[in-house]
Structure 1
Amino acid sequence: MNRSIYVRAPGPLPDLPPNTTRPINDQDDAALADLMERAYAGTVDEDLGGNNDGAVEIADWRRHAAQHSSFVAAGLVAASLISLQDNEFWLGYVITHPDWKGRGLGTAVVAASLRTLDAPVFAAVTDGNTSSERLLERLGFTPVQR
């Protein structure tokens, strides 16, 4: 599956409603794994890295996690997981429970993550994942060649 790379330089972000997000903590992993499986079911990214197991994906993310820049929406219905790889910050996952899509929670958690970083942030999006492409563009990401 082809993926497009996006980057966002530091800059202004939309205001967030108060108490919408909180930083991720170590006790969130099981809920994040379940959220990932639910969010990706039936989508172009359903294979979850080829293993269909959210727990494996979360454990893999943890090896490169920039936890201080990773956020969840209240109730753990959306998450933005940031990774640090080769001295670059990557938006590793944006996940929203299907019942909560379209309410701006993906935008809120990614904006919360971006607020903590004073560096470019990269994202890889599976071609055809138009909702992720729109979210990134809304937050100022632009496609790049790498």
Structure 2
Amino acid sequence: MNRTVYRRAPGPVPDSPQNLRLVDDRDDAALAVLMERAYAGTIDEHLGGNSDGAVEIAGWRQNAVPRASFVVLREGRIAAASLISLNDKDFWLAYVITHPEWKGHGLGTAVVAASLRALDAPVFAGVTDGNTPSERLLTTLGFTPVPR
């Protein structure tokens, strides 16, 4: 599958909703389940070569930037997450995860906006070509494709 890299320069970011907080280590199991539910049946279901959310979250933790990774809670559970990693010297939006029941409510945009505010630095994101919801989210927040 082809992927397009996007980049966003620092700049103004919209406000985020209440019930938003930083990710912590105790969230890993819930994030793994959320990832499996959110990606099931999508173009990115087998991203990383597997469908195991725990493996993906453990891999993210190796380069995680906890100070810029956020979750939003709804009904006492994690409904969406923005997970940032640091690769070499660049910040990457590693994952945007939204529970299927909460898609279309702006929660993905809210958590990514919180991450962007926390970093106030350039951020990159890789999106599988054809993942229209992710492409829309990124362009809404000012990301632009990086020329290949």
**TM-score if structure 1 supplies the norm length?**
0.97
Equivalence for 2:3: 3
Write the letter of the residue equivalent to 1:108: A
Q: How many equivalent residue pairs?
A: 145
Contact 1:8 1:141 in 2 (8 A): yes
Partner of 1:28: 27
The one-character-per-residue Cα deviations of 1:82-115 (angstroms, maximum 9, x if unpaired) are: 0000110000000000010000000000000000
Residues 23 and 72 of structure 1 are in contact (CA less than 8 Å); yes or no, is this contact kept in structure 2? yes
How many Å apart are 1:21 and its aligned residue?
A: 1.1
Query: How high is the sequence identity, in percent, across the aligned residues?
Result: 72
Aligned pairs for 1:1-146 (under 5 A) are 1-17=1-17, 19-74=18-73, 75-146=77-148
RMSD of the alignment, in Å?
A: 0.8
Deviations 1:16-75 (A, max 9, x none): 23x241100010000000000000000000003111100000000000000110000112
Cα deviation code 1:102-144 (max 9, x no counterpart): 0000000000000011210000000000000000000000000
Secondary structure of residue in 1 paired with 2:82: strand
1:6 maps to a residue whose letter is: Y
Separation in 1, partners of 2:16, 2:129 = 28
Contact 1:20 1:108 in 2 (8 A): no
In structure 2, the gaps of 5 or more residues are none
Q: Which runs of 5+ in 1 are unaligned?
A: none
Q: Give the TM-score normalised by structure 2.
A: 0.95
